[in-house]
Amino acid sequence: PKRIFSGIQPTGSIHLGNYLGAIAQWVKLQEQNEDVILSIVDLHSMTLPHEPKILSRNILEMTATLLGCGIDPDRVVLFQQSAVPAHTELCWCLGCISTMARLAHLPQYKEKSKDMKDIPLGLFVYPILQAADILAYKTTHVPVGEDQVQQIQLAQDLARMFNSRFGDTFPIPHTITTGAEYARLRSLRDPSKKMSKSDPDPKSRICLTDNFDDVVRNIKKAVTDFTSEVTYDPEGRPGVSNLIGIHSFVTKKPVEDICKEAEGINTGQYKLVVAEAVVSYLRPIQDRISYYLKDERYLLDVLRRGGEKAGEISERNMEEVRCRLGLRFTA
């Protein structure tokens, strides 16, 4: 049977890249009545130095945001990673069959550790925890943004290695990506980078909870190039093409139609069109997020119920893993 798992870090606010790459897909799968498990992966957000009070706040905000985006906790399992012990236990078990060389090659680690003098061990081990998140539920499909495809390959390799050494236990998880050409949104400040929550410059992204003046200003200031027409060419013109991608996502219009409609206006004028479309798109989402944020008891209850369900599923699988590894005695 198909089992879908995905996670999102409770660091900072959700940006349009996360929304397009991850959350919009989750909502779609939920609507298709798939078996979906979604985790707010709080342990992952400790891989870089963090402030405890802010982390707690972010977990609640992420919960409200997901609900505001249309996730229904009665139809999917929505829970907090740290509430379910299987993640860290399986992380250890998988860590013992991984190698340092393999982890050092992953692009996310290379990118994030590039300018660091002392690299936290958690940042290095992170992909194994991610593999554990996925495998603990015997996941078959992982909807992620384009930037995560290589990380998921590690989970696939570890599942294969575990199965061949200890017996068939885990299905090999497949990735599902949006398939859209613009599936990886780029930084508004530097279109060679992806739009990222952890980018120190907030002007590089559009967050679901940004105030509208900031949205308009950041889009107006988005880095483009010296050609004034609006044409779609992600390789040659990544800046403008990124705006077209954003525009297409929020209006559900195909890229070709957008370019046709923008014939005769320059990129400066086009930015205003995009900004207006983004603001109308965000308005109802923001209203729903603030509605949920007012009810902390409800948010905590959602997480508690989700945690119980996730705990049951993963504990069953972990008991099998413990048996496979020789940690249990069968009479």
The nearest distance, CB 169 to ligand ATP, in angstroms, is: 25
What does the binding site for ligand ATP look like in residue numbers (CB under 6 A)? 8-9, 11, 17-18, 20-22, 144-148, 184-185, 194-198
Residue of closest CB approach to ligand ATP: 21
Query: 267: exposed, middle or buried (C-beta count within 10 Å: 0-12, 13-18, 19+)?
Result: buried
- Sort strands 77-80 and 36-40 into parallel, antiparallel or unpaired: parallel
Q: Known catalytic residue: 309?
A: no
Decide whether 195 or 275 has the Cβ nearer to ligand ATP. 195
Rounded distance, CA 280 to CA 285, Å? Answer: 10
DSSP state letter for 228: -
**Of 304, 325, 289, whose CA–CA distance to 23 is shortest?**
289
The nearest distance, CB 308 to ligand ATP, in angstroms, is: 24
Rounded distance, CA 10 to CA 164, Å? Answer: 35
DSSP E strands, 121-275: 141-143, 174-176
Decide whether 82 or 196 has the Cβ nearer to ligand ATP. 196
Decide whether 22 or 27 has the Cβ nearer to ligand ATP. 22
The nearest distance, CB 131 to ligand ATP, in angstroms, is: 15
- Three-state SS at 269: helix
Q: Known catalytic residue: 194?
A: yes
Choosing from 110, 138, 193, 197, which is the catalytic residue? 197
The nearest distance, CB 86 to ligand ATP, in angstroms, is: 20
Q: Known catalytic residue: 294?
A: no
Angle made by CA atoms 130, 38, 287, in degrees to the nearest 5: 125
Decide whether 35 or 147 has the Cβ nearer to ligand ATP. 147
User: What residues act catalytically?
Assistant: 112, 194, 197
